[in-house]
């Protein structure tokens, strides 16, 4: 936290705002390659988000790595408390991105 003499101001102590970067485009244009480069080359600035879902894990998927696997009641609570930046019901399962 920066200070001026013995005084610190709130604006000097706040964390910088985080920015959501959405990379979208047709299949095969290099979205995954670009995002992997950003995460690998700038790990302090970029990270992949891990979405939540109410569907069961598929073979080989790991909780908190591929998705946060949550119950329907937990998903509903997160929706009611505005804990998702976005969410959707896909084929009867809820998917959501937390902030």
Per domain, the residue ranges of the chain are: 1-47, 49-98
- The 10s digit of each residue's pLDDT in 30-54 is 998 999 999 999 998 888 889 999 9
Residue 55 corresponds to which tokens in the numbers above? 């569907």
According to CATH, the superfamily of the domain at 49-98 is Guanylate Kinase phosphate binding domain (3.30.63.10)
| C-beta of residue 8 within 8 angstroms of C-beta of residue 2 | yes
| C-beta of residue 31 within 8 angstroms of C-beta of residue 23 | yes
pLDDT greater than 80 at residue 89: yes
Query: Is the pTM for the entire model greater than 0.75?
Result: no
For residue 93, how many other CB atoms are within 10 A of its CB? Answer: 13
- The 10s digit of each residue's pLDDT in 1-25 is 544 455 555 555 676 777 778 889 9
């Amino acid at each position: 936290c920066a200070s001026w003499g013995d005084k610190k101001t709130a604006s000097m102590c706040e964390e910088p705002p985080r920015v959501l970067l959405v990379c979208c485009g047709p299949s095969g244009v290099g979205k995954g390659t670009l995002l992997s480069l950003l995460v690998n080359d700038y790990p302090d600035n970029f990270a992949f988000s891990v979405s939540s879902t109410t569907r069961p894990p598929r073979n080989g998927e790991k909780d908190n790595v591929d998705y946060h696997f949550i119950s329907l009641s937990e998903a509903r609570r997160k929706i009611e408390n505005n804990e998702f930046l976005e969410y959707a019901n896909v084929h009867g399962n809820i998917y959501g991105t937390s902030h």
